[in-house]
Chain A
Amino acid sequence: MSIEAINEQLLRAIGVGVALVDIEKLSFQFRNDTFNEWFGDHDQSIGLVDLFPDMAELDLKAEMATSRRFTTETSFKLRRRTMTVAMEFNSTNDAAGNIAVLVCQNITRIKELESMIDSYSMMVERNTHEIKREKEQVEKLLLNMMPRAAYEEYKTFGVVSPRLFDPVSVLALDFIGFDDVLSAHEPGVILSELNDIYSAFDRIGAQFGCQRIRTNGDSYVAVSGVPDPNGEHASAVANSAVRFVRYIEQRNASHPIKWQPRIGVAAGSVIGSVVGNQNYIYDVFGPTVSNALAFRTVAEPMSVVTNTEFVDLTGDAFESSALSSDNHVSLRQSTNTPQ
């Protein structure tokens, strides 16, 4: 076999589509096996334009005349598969300069991969978006359960170490006769009432720099000075306490259930921490909390009880009257203070 014959054999068998094109007539002079496999058997009457109707033949001619090279892409169906072929025309050095070598590379797999990556990245992007939204919801929930500083610590270290907060003020509230109210109404009604009332307390507290720590049934405990120090912690708690009472008074006037809150407030130090490693709850402990709870137990309905040390911290805005039991005083807003 001659070298020419071997060359032709190679050219025919190669996995790249090769054809010789007459640029003037836009006709095929030669097509190898791969080319025919893709575009059908060679037929003298079929020209370039018949085979590739979408090809910009004027661009092809112009480009070949100037840069002697032209590239484009074409897609077609081979059975059901969409094939994409990259086409490159190169001028030959024949005397007339009309013959170009057309090389067609099969880039179907690349196109398929591109499509798949598009599809996959869209899925991943959507999932990432959903995860981000869920994370924000979890964060919001956790921030409802603990102060931001404790949450940040938890996120970084996986634990929240107990911290001493000093000085702070604690407010403890419950409702006299809660059990009776509970037995007289549907649990759903009570829940909706408490939700209403505690939400209002939260709003009032936030206004004065007081944050709810926990609720447990009818017990509502809030602090001022945790985790961020507050120089006016006693006033914050006292202001919140008297407004809690006022809010309930106003609410009782227009609602069937007449709530009878009593409140104890105390100043001092507390330890704050997350308790539990399954069911997280942020809580505060210490004698100040115990004092507030103890004062609450001796408070009359719709009143706030504390000790004289606390009253001293609240300045002129509040006044007190001694109660019969030791060191307990009833706290109320001074009558000469603007409301």
Chain B
Amino acid sequence: MEKSLFDKYGGFASVSRMVLELYERLLEDDDVGPFFDDVDLPRVIDHQTKFVSSLMGGPASFTDDYIQRVHSDMNIDDHHFDRLKEIIGEVLNDFSVEAADIAAIAGAFEARRSLLTGQTNVN
């Protein structure tokens, strides 16, 4: 079986650091940060842990239906989505994730754009 990116980059031990870094940058960001304004710390962390873990093929996976349902009333726009994609790329790059792998992760994320923004995926 092919090794997942989650395992390739050191499993939870190192992915946890990426999660915390992402968490900090998201909250600092004025575009996507406000989505987490009124959310409890454990829920935000839980969200980020599962999010990164599922993007990298770790022990979390979500059906498209589920992703769509939990984001449905959030009014996420394309520019929010783009900004988040950008931040993820920056974090992964800072943690020395290979460019090809960052592209793969960004691709997996992009594939779900329409689930979050509620718009048809044109890619």
Residues of A within 8 A of B (CB): 79-82, 109, 111-113, 115-116, 118-120, 123-124, 127
Q: A116-B16, A120-B49 are in contact. Are A82 and B40 (CB under 8 A)?
A: yes
Q: Are B24 and A113 in contact (CB under 8 A)?
A: no
Count of B interface residues, CB-CB < 8 Å: 24
Contacts of B36 in A (CB 8 A): 80
Select B27's contact among A81, A118, A119, A124, beta carbons within 8 Å. Answer: A81
Once the chains are docked, how many angstroms separate the CA of A127 from the CA of B36? 27
Contact mask B4-21 → A, CB, 8 Å, 1/0? 000000001000100110
**Contact present for A111 and B12 (CB under 8 Å):** no
Of all chain B residues, which has the CB nearest A130? B59
A-B pairs, top 6 by smallest CB distance, nearest first, are A115-B45, A82-B41, A119-B46, A80-B27, A119-B49, A115-B42
B60 at the interface (CB under 8 A from A): yes
- Say yes or no for B94: interface residue by CB 8 A criterion: no
B49 lies within 8 A of A112 (CB): no
Knowing A115-B45, A116-B20, say if A123 contacts B50 (CB, 8 Å).
yes
Contact (Cβ within 8 A) A80 B37: yes
Which residues of chain A are within 8 angstroms of B42 by Cβ–Cβ distance?
115, 118-119
For residue B33, CB closer than 8 A to chain A, the reply is: yes
Name the contact of B59 in the complex, choosing from A115, A116, A123 (C-beta under 8 A).
A123
Shortest distance from the beta carbon of B38 to any chain A beta carbon, whole Å: 9
Q: Are A119 and B59 in contact (CB under 8 A)?
A: no
Given A113-B16, A116-B16, A123-B59: A80 touches B33 (CB 8 Å cut-off):
yes
Q: A80-B36, A119-B50 are in contact. Are A113 and B20 (CB under 8 A)?
A: yes
Does residue B28 face the partner (Cβ distance < 8 Å to A)?
A: yes
Q: For residue B20, which residue of chain A has the nearest CB? A: A112
Q: Select one of A79, A116, A124 contacting B45, CB under 8 A.
A: A116
> Please, how many angstroms separate the alpha-carbon atoms of A113 and B27 in the complex?
16
Q: Please name the residue on chain B nearest to A82 by beta carbon.
A: B41
Selected contact of B41 from candidates A79, A115, A120, CB within 8 Å: A115
Contact yes or no, B16 A124, CB < 8 A: no
* Chain B hits for A80, CB < 8 A: 27-28, 33-34, 36-37
**Separation in Å of the B18 CB from the closest CB of chain A?**
11
Q: Which residue of A lies closest to B24 (CB)?
A: A81
Query: Is B53 close to A, CB under 8 A?
Result: yes
**Residue among B20, B34, B49 with most chain A CB within 10 A:** B49
Residues of B within 8 A of A120 (CB): 12, 16, 49, 53, 59
CB distance from B123 to the nearest CB of A (A): 29
Cα distance, A81 to B20, chains bound together (Å) = 12
> Residue B109 at the A interface, CB < 8 A?
no
Closest to B19 in A: A116
Can you offer 9 A-B residue contacts whose CB atoms are under 8 A?
Answer: A80-B27, A115-B45, A115-B46, A116-B19, A119-B42, A119-B50, A120-B16, A123-B58, A123-B60
With A120-B59, A123-B49 given, name 5 new contacts (CB 8 A): A112-B23, A113-B20, A115-B45, A116-B19, A123-B58
Contacts of B27 in A (CB 8 A): 79-81
Q: In whole angstroms, how far apart are the Cα atoms of A120 and B37 in the complex?
A: 23
